[in-house]
Amino acid sequence: MDGQNLTHEDHATFNPDQANAAFHAAIRHVNRRIINRTEVVDQIFSALLMREHALIQSRTGAAKSLLAQQIFNMFEGAHLFMVQASKEQQPDTYFGGLDIDELKKGRIMHNTANSLVESEFGFIDEIFDANDYTLRALLTTLNERALILGVQQVPARVHSVIAATNYLRVSEITEALLDRFIFKALFIPAKEAYTQYQIAQRYLLHKGKPSVPGTRIPYGLLKRTSDVIKGFDTEYSVRIPLHVIFFANSVVRYYEVQRNRIIKERPHEHPHLKDFYISPRTYSRAMDMLRVIAFLRGRMEVVPEDVEQLWYLYTVVGIHEEKELFRKCYSTIHKQLCSARAFDQIKKILEFQEFLEHLKVHPEQLQRSITEIEGQPLRRTLTEWAKETLGITLGVVEGRFNGATPVKVWKARL
**CATH 3.40.50.300 domain residues, the chain:** 10-230
Q: Kindly report, residue by residue over 323-335, the tens digit of the pLDDT.
A: 999 999 999 999 9
Instruction: Characterize 144-175 residue by residue with b for buried, 16 or more Cβ atoms within 10 angstroms of its Cβ, and e for exposed.
Output: eeebebeebebebbbbbbbbbbeeebeeebbe
* Contact (CB, 8 A) for 333 and 247: yes
Q: Which amino acid appears at position 15 of this protein?
A: N
Rounded distance between C-alpha atoms, residue 81 and residue 142, angstroms: 13
Specify the CATH number of the domain 10-230.
Answer: 3.40.50.300
- DSSP string for residues in 254-318: HHHHHHHHHHHH-GGG-TT-S-----HHHHHHHHHHHHHHHHHTT-SB--GGGGGGGHHHHS-BT
Q: Kindly report, residue by residue over 97-135, the tens digit of the pLDDT.
A: 887 877 777 777 888 888 999 999 999 999 999 998 888
In the three-class reduction of DSSP (H, G, I as helix; E, B as strand; rest coil), residue 388 is classed as helix
* Contact (CB, 8 A) for 48 and 222: yes
- Chain mean position to CA 239: 16
Between 58 and 208, name the one with better pLDDT.
Answer: 58
Q: Kindly report, residue by residue over 127-139, the tens digit of the pLDDT.
A: 999 998 888 889 8
Residues 6+ apart with CB under 8 A from 321: none
Q: Kindly report, residue by residue over 212-245, the tens digit of the pLDDT.
A: 888 999 999 999 999 999 999 999 999 999 889 9
Rounded distance between C-alpha atoms, residue 184 and residue 162, angstroms: 10
Rounded distance between C-alpha atoms, residue 302 and residue 306, angstroms: 7
Q: What is the dihedral of CA 53, 58, 59, 65, to 10 degrees?
A: -40
Taking all residues of the chain, what is their mean pLDDT, rounded to a whole number? Answer: 83
Q: Kindly report, residue by residue over 345-369, the tens digit of the pLDDT.
A: 777 777 767 777 766 777 766 666 5
